[in-house]
Amino acid sequence: MIPFLKFSIQDLGSYSVPQEGFPVKLNQNESPFDIPSEIKQEIWHRFQKDEWSRYPTEGPEDLLDALSQYAGYPKEGILPGNGSNELIQTTMIGALNPGDGMLIIRPGFSVYPRLAKIFNVELFQIFLNQNLQFEEAEILNTLRDKSVQMILIDSPNNPTGALLKLSTIEKILTVFNGLFVLDEAYFEFSQTTAKKLIDTHQNLVILRTLSKGFSLAGLRLGYLLGRPKVVSELKKAKLPFSVNRFSQVAATVLFAHSKIILNNVAFIKKERERLFAEMAKISGIKPYPSEANFILFETTEKPVQHIFEQLKSQGILIRDVSYYPKLEKALRVTIGKPEENDRFLDALRKILQG
């Protein structure tokens, strides 16, 4: 132990995800489609004229205009951040004191419990039910019985792909006055949003990202939607200048080409349905329907580690989520390009037959 660093940090495992050396990389819910080179050229052309010696402006206006138009939300209520991860942290800084209560769903996005530990907050964990769906009654009971200052839920849920019903979100908001952070990282794939409820509930904020549907994971850009008054307060909890000039320019240009991006999303959704149908035919595999760009599946015959390692040895990297609560027999695969999905399917069939 290092005596001058917090125990809560040293007690955490490192957040490491293998990233290189796999021809078929389906482990981080990224888009398989890179930004087309003409658009990269356009971004580069604009960025060359930019003044790199200057700090980035907060906003800036053209990015806020583009986000506002895309999200259908007033720009005064939009806060860009360095990936939605930064904004998760920002909302926690803004709403929680050490010892406060935060409600999350397990299994869910793994960054939430990590940050809870770092911030020394009390975690109230609600587990998904047997069918890996949200348990509305349990959420509402916990809110009634416990002292909860913040709720942080991803919908679609990562790693299951399940959606939290809008009616459940509404019910939560009628009984809960703390900050409700709804993480819609996979919105492009689900096309379901609780954005309208911000009009009636000032304690709701929504997080989105350009890392998934928008193929921009490498540039780190997320955004928060909330009431303008809430956003201007939360902005104070965020590090200044955290979104660099390059990402600002890239995102602004990319929104001008959002049709290409949304075509990719539609393509990935079709591939998701194809992959699901093919996986459902494989004996020993139980895939779960997903509203995101990944599929969770359980292995009912062969050990989960065996399947994961066999795929890995063939250059196919997916995500082992078997250490998550309730998912002892589960793996998660990101939807890739058709040829990547085919390689995954072929390998999976052979492993299960072998």
Ligand X SMILES: Cc1ncc(COP(=O)(O)O)c(C=O)c1O
Choices 5-13, 56-64, 83-91, 190-198 (CB under 6 A): range interacting with ligand X: 83-91
Examine residue 209 and tell whether it contacts ligand X (CB under 6 A).
yes
* Residues 92, 234, 178: CA angle, nearest 5 degrees: 55
- Rounded (10°) CA dihedral 50, 53, 54, 55: 110
Please give the C-alpha separations between residue 120 and each of 9, 95, 101, 215, 254, in angstroms, as whole numbers: 10, 13, 10, 34, 38
In terms of DSSP H, where are the helices of 26-165?
37-48, 61-71, 83-95, 111-118, 136-145
d(CA 314, CA 227) in angstroms, rounded, equals 49
Q: Which is nearer to ligand X, 68 or 211 (CB)?
A: 211
Give least dist CB 350 to ligand X, A. Answer: 29
Q: Which is nearer to ligand X, 42 or 184 (CB)?
A: 184
Examine residue 90 and tell whether it contacts ligand X (CB under 6 A).
no
Examine residue 84 and tell whether it contacts ligand X (CB under 6 A).
yes
Examine residue 185 and tell whether it contacts ligand X (CB under 6 A).
yes
Which residue has 């809960």 as its token pair? 176
Q: Which is nearer to ligand X, 72 or 218 (CB)?
A: 218
3-state secondary structure of 3: coil
Choices 15-23, 31-39, 82-90, 117-125 (CB under 6 A): range interacting with ligand X: 82-90
d(CA 241, CA 228) in angstroms, rounded, equals 19
Question: Torsion-angle region of residue 315: left (phi > 0), alpha (psi -120 to 50) or beta?
Answer: left
3-state secondary structure of 353: helix
Q: Find, among 298, 293, 252, the residue nearest to 273 by Cα.
A: 293
Name which position in 26, 42, 90, 109 contacts ligand X (CB under 6 A): 109
Q: Which is nearer to ligand X, 210 or 347 (CB)?
A: 210
Query: What DSSP designation does 298 have?
Result: E
Name which position in 25, 26, 27, 29 contacts ligand X (CB under 6 A): 29
Q: Which residues contact 257 (CB under 8 A, 6 or more apart)?
A: 39
Examine residue 290 and tell whether it contacts ligand X (CB under 6 A).
no
Give least dist CB 112 to ligand X, A. Answer: 9
Examine residue 333 and tell whether it contacts ligand X (CB under 6 A).
no
Examine residue 291 and tell whether it contacts ligand X (CB under 6 A).
no
Examine residue 83 and tell whether it contacts ligand X (CB under 6 A).
yes
Residue window 252-271: x/- pattern of binding to ligand X, with contact defined by CB under 6 A: --------------------
How many residues belong to the site for ligand X (CB under 6 A)?
13
Residue nearest to ligand X (CB): 83
Q: Which is nearer to ligand X, 95 or 164 (CB)?
A: 164
The residues binding ligand X (CB under 6 A) are 29, 83-85, 109, 154, 158, 183, 185, 209, 211, 217, 222
